[in-house]
Structure 1
Amino acid sequence: MKILFVTWDGPQVTYLESLFLPIFHKLKGYGFQFYVLQFSWADKEEIALRRSACESFDVPYYSIQVARRPVALGSFLTALWGGRHIRRLVDDCAIDVVMPRSTLPAMSALLALRGRKEKLVFDADGLPLDERVDFDGLSPNGFVYRFLRDVESQAVRVSDAILTRSSEASSVLFARAGAGTSKKKFFVVTNGRDKNHFKVDNGSIPNHARRELSVPSGSPLVVYVGSLGGKYKIKEMFDFFSLIVERDSSARMLVLTGSKEIAISELKSFPSIKDSVRIDKVGASEVPRYLSAADLGLAFIQPGFSMKAVSAIKVGEYLLCGVPCVLVDGFGGEKEKVKSVSVILKDFSNEAMTEAVNWFFEVVVPHRKSMREKCRKRGVDFFSLEAAVESYLVALKSL
């Protein structure tokens, strides 16, 4: 079965390479050949890198340049024009299934497949429109939101299968689609990582990483990996780490992010911990060796309605590397997956954070080896590439 994956990504987004391509490559072994059509405003060099990445996974790659002037109108016109590109690829490559990821690609796919026999799988991948309402100021009463909500609901109604990242997302989309939509075509899939890349390392690599970071022997190392700004709450993470330092002044924190300037600026407000925090940017291949050296991972993301539809990729990476984590209540479907190896904050209050700090020093630190093993097992069971592939297979075999 040939599947055309249609996605819409900016220059800084690497989900295609880091998340989807490994899954698509594994699915080929089960008879599913993926093709990628990417709408993007990245430059030619970046597009060439993405094409090379796809080729390395035996996935043909095609791209469409997104018009950016003006941004809103340009995106809308690109999505309309994109329907023709999809239709052409469907014919040229004998595509059986079109899988748009998110709303604008879904609009292009709906236009492309009108009156055709090819199947449609809608990868909703969260509630992106509601995320813009929660964090970017988009009005839920405005034309853009209402129009794209209609596109989203239409995609749900006509799709042969809908992929989500949480049962909460499935419930929301099912309710919005209205009467006549079957619950049986909703499938929750996993954002899985390669367990052989993100792994527990008991050899010299973690010790080398700790020496590189000047972490004293036996001292706690707290880590955060990911984006900053907006819904990613670096101030609250520094608040939390300040409480860690009050308990153990030798503790260290590592922030790995592409938004170093945001972390550096915020750290100026925390003079008591500035010498205990390292802020850096490393290549994706380097991340696991730093995670394997850590004792605690943080995932402080602002709760919101849209977050119920999200599965935090970084939580899976932490657990696969044997790192327990502290996250905030509100992620869809995470509670059971991280049970017993993490603490879920009810809010960012000092009281809630203090409880999590107590858990770290009383439960994690004295039993670091056994906790590392438990985290690894949870990671493999729920966040590995194999777990992701199994979840996709259930959906694709239903077609």
Structure 2
Amino acid sequence: MSNCLFITWDGPQTSYLEALFLPIFERLGVHGHRIHVLQFTWDEADRLAGIKNISEVVDVPYRAVPVWRRAGTAGPFASAVLGQRHIWRAVRDWNINTLMPRSLMPALAVLAMGPRSGLKLVFDADGFAVDERVDFGGLSSKSPTYRVLRAVEAHTVRVADRVLVRTPRAIDILCERSKTDRGKFHVVGNGRDPTAFLGSSPRRTDNEFRLCYAGSLGAQYRPDQMIELAQCLRTHIPNLVFRIFTGDETNLDIVLDKSGVSDRSWIEVSRLPAQEMPAALMQCDLALALRQPSFSTQGVAPIKIGEYVLAGLPVIGTESVGPVEPLIEAGVMFPLKNDVSQVWPWVRDNVIPNRLALRRRAQELGLAHFSLKASVDSYLAALDIDTS
């Protein structure tokens, strides 16, 4: 049905491509949508080789494009604009008929191509990236960078054949910003393949209580509060170990120094390949998925929540960020606001005495709301466009 080029822009601290998108793309290939990947990145060569190997295994052609990180914002903007040459080369080499840029810098690269006769455009808006930089990265909403990227967003939404979002609220916002038709929007899911989560986890012989967090550690993920919460729980659970799965160790060190954590023997930090994460999560007891509510979070659906519940983990998270209402209603998620002292009674009365029952309930919710099949079905509906 289509030869699609997925164009993404990823830093070294993220693994969205391997963990989320490649399994979805593999399944889309079964339904006649051959997905190819062009990744703009500044990651290290050995990790890129690993991504390429994973892509080959799932039959998704892959190329990496280096991002120039010098000269402030000029380097990344130049990489995007000049990156249109790499897109054209991929179009020719892979006989592409549909472009799918994810977020704003890839969208800029597509716009820099000029006339794209014969190429359909599916824009994966993927939240509000530039607004997130205003909310958490110190970018001014009056700056040239913000204005340019907002213009890229609005124009790409207007000219796209389809627009992919993660929440219904994102549709409202993008329609208002771009003054375009709601009919082109599709909400797609961030589901995971449950297979790796459904096997029997190795029997534990330790007596640790394992709190965990998976992902990057920017300000929007409330790392200061995470550390405060972990320390609070440890006063009640002396055998608590905090496992942090991240590629963002620099930010973690800053947070720990700021929090005055001198004894770090109870904090374990590692970065695991995507295929090893399910087993690692299944060895834990409780997970964190905090997010600072803001304008930009109206468009996000955190991937880690689906991973946690499929692994059978109860979650301490943030209300109204992502599709978490079923988890809260089922007692699988505690919606934390500001007072971390409220967490211990919930853990004491619900998590510790009911671990097995909570695991079963969490996995049932994961299968119902965060499955790979549901995500693939949502993409199939969005890609149902004439590519002749």
State TM-score, norm by structure 1: 0.87
**CA displacement at 1:397 relative to structure 2:** 2.0
For 1:290 and 1:116, locate their aligned partners in 2 and report how far apart those are by CA, in whole Å.
47
295, 318, 331: which one pairs with 2:285? 295
> What secondary structure is seen at the aligned counterpart in 1 of 2:212?
strand
CA 1:40–1:176 in structure 2 vs 1: closer, same or farther (change >3 Å)?
same
Spell out, residue by residue over 1:303-361, the C-alpha distance to the aligned partner (whole angstroms, 9 max, x if none): 2211121111111111001001011234143334554221112x22x2xx333332222
> What secondary structure is seen at the aligned counterpart in 1 of 2:204?
helix
**CA displacement at 1:48 relative to structure 2:** 3.0
> How does 1:13-32 map onto structure 2 within 5 Å?
13-32=14-33
Kindly indicate whether residue 204 of structure 2 is the aligned counterpart of residue 207 of structure 1: yes
Alignment match, 1:342: 333
**CA displacement at 1:267 relative to structure 2:** 4.7
Moved more, 114-123 or 255-264: 255-264
Spell out, residue by residue over 1:102-122, the C-alpha distance to the aligned partner (whole angstroms, 9 max, x if none): 111112212336251221000
CA 1:71–1:360 in structure 2 vs 1: closer, same or farther (change >3 Å)?
same
Contact 2:14 2:215 in 1 (8 A): no
Kindly indicate whether residue 250 of structure 2 is the aligned counterpart of residue 253 of structure 1: no
Contact 2:211 2:242 in 1 (8 A): yes
Spell out, residue by residue over 1:161-190, the C-alpha distance to the aligned partner (whole angstroms, 9 max, x if none): 111111122221111011xx2212111111
CA 1:331–1:34 in structure 2 vs 1: closer, same or farther (change >3 Å)?
same
> How does 1:68-107 map onto structure 2 within 5 Å?
68-107=69-108
Spell out, residue by residue over 1:358-383, the C-alpha distance to the aligned partner (whole angstroms, 9 max, x if none): 22222232222221111001111222
CA 1:266–1:3 in structure 2 vs 1: closer, same or farther (change >3 Å)?
closer
For 1:312 and 1:229, locate their aligned partners in 2 and report how far apart those are by CA, in whole Å.
14
CA 1:158–1:60 in structure 2 vs 1: closer, same or farther (change >3 Å)?
same
CA 1:185–1:286 in structure 2 vs 1: closer, same or farther (change >3 Å)?
same
CA 1:43–1:363 in structure 2 vs 1: closer, same or farther (change >3 Å)?
closer
**CA displacement at 1:35 relative to structure 2:** 0.9
Kindly indicate whether residue 171 of structure 2 is the aligned counterpart of residue 170 of structure 1: yes
State TM-score, norm by structure 2: 0.90
Alignment match, 2:217: 228
Between Structure 1 and Structure 2, how many residues are aligned?
Answer: 383
Letter in 1 for 2:59: D
Letter in 1 for 2:301: S
CA 1:207–1:308 in structure 2 vs 1: closer, same or farther (change >3 Å)?
same
Alignment match, 2:377: 390
Kindly indicate whether residue 190 of structure 2 is the aligned counterpart of residue 191 of structure 1: yes
For 2:277 and 2:112, locate their aligned partners in 1 and report how far apart those are by CA, in whole Å.
40
Alignment match, 1:373: 360
Moved more, 330-339 or 137-146: 330-339
Moved more, 330-339 or 109-118: 330-339
Once the two structures are aligned, what percentage of the paired residues are identical?
37
Contact 2:241 2:268 in 1 (8 A): no
**CA displacement at 1:61 relative to structure 2:** 1.6
Kindly indicate whether residue 62 of structure 2 is the aligned counterpart of residue 61 of structure 1: yes
**CA displacement at 1:269 relative to structure 2:** 7.2
> What secondary structure is seen at the aligned counterpart in 2 of 1:79?
helix
Moved more, 377-386 or 257-266: 257-266
For 1:90 and 1:113, locate their aligned partners in 2 and report how far apart those are by CA, in whole Å.
14
Contact 1:206 1:290 in 2 (8 A): no
For 1:286 and 1:249, locate their aligned partners in 2 and report how far apart those are by CA, in whole Å.
28
Alignment match, 2:303: 313
Spell out, residue by residue over 1:26-69, the C-alpha distance to the aligned partner (whole angstroms, 9 max, x if none): 11000000111122233444433332222121111223222233
The RMSD of aligned alpha carbons is 2.5
Letter in 2 for 1:342: M
Contact 1:251 1:276 in 2 (8 A): no
Contact 1:221 1:295 in 2 (8 A): yes
> What secondary structure is seen at the aligned counterpart in 2 of 1:162?
strand
For 2:218 and 2:78, locate their aligned partners in 1 and report how far apart those are by CA, in whole Å.
29
Spell out, residue by residue over 1:287-317, the C-alpha distance to the aligned partner (whole angstroms, 9 max, x if none): 3233212221111222221112111111111
For 2:217 and 2:243, locate their aligned partners in 1 and report how far apart those are by CA, in whole Å.
14
Spell out, residue by residue over 1:7-35, the C-alpha distance to the aligned partner (whole angstroms, 9 max, x if none): 11223332212211111011100000011
Alignment match, 2:319: 329
Contact 1:168 1:333 in 2 (8 A): no
Contact 1:199 1:288 in 2 (8 A): no
* Moved beyond 6 Å, runs of 4+: 268-273
**CA displacement at 1:250 relative to structure 2:** 3.9
For 1:86 and 1:229, locate their aligned partners in 2 and report how far apart those are by CA, in whole Å.
30
**CA displacement at 1:268 relative to structure 2:** 6.2
Letter in 2 for 1:238: I
For 2:88 and 2:253, locate their aligned partners in 1 and report how far apart those are by CA, in whole Å.
47
User: 5+ unaligned residues in a row in structure 1: which ranges?
Assistant: none
Kindly indicate whether residue 342 of structure 2 is the aligned counterpart of residue 355 of structure 1: yes
CA 1:221–1:121 in structure 2 vs 1: closer, same or farther (change >3 Å)?
same
Letter in 2 for 1:291: L
> How does 1:279-290 map onto structure 2 within 5 Å?
279-284=268-273, 285-290=275-280
Contact 2:310 2:366 in 1 (8 A): yes
For 1:391 and 1:161, locate their aligned partners in 2 and report how far apart those are by CA, in whole Å.
12
> How does 1:97-136 map onto structure 2 within 5 Å?
97-112=98-113, 114-136=115-137
